[in-house]
Chain A
Amino acid sequence: MDSALTLLGLVSLKPSYGYDLKQLYDRLFGLRKPLAFGQVYATIARMIRDGLLAPLGEEAGDGPDRKRYAVTPDGEERLAEWMFTPDVPSETLQNNMFAKTVVALLTGRDAQRLLDLQRACHMEQMRALTRQKQSAGLMHVLLYDHALFHIEADLRWIDMTAARLTQLRAEVLA
């Protein structure tokens, strides 16, 4: 997740103080990892430098800040580009499991056991997320769903690979 562009998106709601931005960010996205104040101000400074944000002058808000920030036209353009450019699906998750399975088959180690262990680890994580999801609000339910569907995809790969082990072993050793 790109926390800088997410912050930019929040400023586009309305001109905001750094303090308020951090509160809103943490409420929406900080379930696992809240932003440090230092990171918020460093990000704001970088976006001002890049012409994406502009300070609106000094006036006191609810928090300790005196400056509010607004999104510039360049900032709006950057935001739209980020939002409507599809993310490239990640392919990296499977690689290590794939490599381990192939090496296990090549070297005569127990590939079924490594898949079973991986599967158990994935299921444990899925159970933990499902428990957390049950008491979560709808917004965080979306977040848990995203994680759960990704783990499910791995599990399907693991099950499919387990079902193909005999055939795979023959192919790898041919």
Chain B
Amino acid sequence: MTAVLEARGLKKSFGRNEALRGIDVSIRRGEIVAIMGPSGSGKSTLLHCLAGVTVPDAGIVRFNGTAISTLDETARGRLRLGDFGFVFQFGQLLPELTAIDNVAVPLLLAGERRAAASARAAEWLVRLGLDGKAQRRPQELSGGEAQRVAIARALVTKPAVLFADEPTGSLDSLAAEGVMKLMIELVRESGTTVVVVTHDSRTAAYADRDIIVRDGRVSVALGEAA
């Protein structure tokens, strides 16, 4: 099957710290892949390079066959808004906005009218079991609810790829399970590709496979099943 995301020979340094030392990764359409590894191994840097947030020093990232690592910031910004969704560990919701307005933000940025954006945002809140919480602000939500709002916001634009960096990192086991179960059900249903960085093996077990990053390289014990 075609690779939706592909990285070849990725290298990235921050000062004297070599975060990525030549990484090759290939991710198929609709695949859910967990990136794991010790703290400081380069797994978040890899996610940021794949998502066009960070530009690698060397190597290439392709999305649907097009090199994105050489695009300028404006073009990469458009790509992130239209084709990619993001979920982080915490602090990603705008505190002054209600849950529904937070979910509507990417639609409004993409030029959708407010009424239509709100209607779609409301649908997604319901799909994530958050009916009745639409008018709450982030600080009035539990950790698990806030993450579900973040997932709704990430999926509302129907992205081709969802990038999640430690999406359950700030949650207890039960809330983490609720968030992962819903997220996986929704992305399987829509065929969305997912790249999730996690240090938690139970979160990674929702993926189809895992890629281990160690010292800026992909662990090669089993090869990279590209």
Are B219 and A116 within 8 A (Cβ)? yes
Q: How far is the CA of A40 from the CA of B202 in the complex (A)?
A: 36
Interface size on A, residues (CB 8 A): 21
CA distance A155 to B219 in the complex (A): 16
CA distance A127 to B33 in the complex (A): 12
What chain B residues lie within 8 Å of A151 (beta carbons)? 201
B207 touches A127 (CB 8 A): yes
For the complex, is B181 an interface residue (Cβ under 8 Å from A)?
yes
**Is residue B109 contacting chain A, with contact meaning CB distance below 8 A?**
no
Stretch at the interface among A47-55, A57-65, A118-126: A118-126
Is B115 positioned at the interface, with any CB of A under 8 Å from its CB?
A: no
CB of B6 within 8 A of chain A?
A: no
Q: Cβ of B38: which chain A residues have Cβ within 8 Å of it?
A: 159, 162-163
Contacts of A156 in B (CB 8 A): 201
Judge whether A129 and B205 touch: CB under 8 Å.
yes
Contact string against A for B residues 153-184, beta-carbon threshold 8 Å, 1 for contact and 0 otherwise: 00000000000000000000000000001001
Q: Does A83 contact B (CB under 8 A)?
A: no
Instruction: Assess whether A14 is interfacial by the CB under 8 Å rule.
Output: no
Contact between A116 and B204 (Cβ–Cβ < 8 Å)? no
Judge if B222 is at the interface, Cβ distance under 8 Å.
yes
Specify the chain A residue showing the minimal Cβ separation from B185: A134
| Cβ of A163 to closest chain B Cβ, rounded Å | 6
For A110, the closest partner residue in chain B by CB is B221
In this complex, what residue of B is CB-closest to A125? B205
In the complex, how many angstroms separate the beta carbon of A122 from the nearest chain B beta carbon? 8
Cβ A126 vs Cβ B205 within 8 A: yes
Q: Which residues of chain B from 201 to 218 have a CB within 8 Å of any chain A CB?
A: 201-202, 204-208, 210, 212, 214
Measured CA separation A130–B176 after assembly (Å): 13
Q: Is A28 an interface residue when CB atoms closer than 8 A count as contact?
A: no
Q: Chain B residues in contact with chain A, CB under 8 A?
A: 38, 181, 184, 201-202, 204-208, 210, 212, 214, 219, 221-222
Sorted from nearest, which 5 A-B pairs have the closest CB atoms? Answer: A116-B221, A126-B205, A130-B205, A155-B201, A127-B205
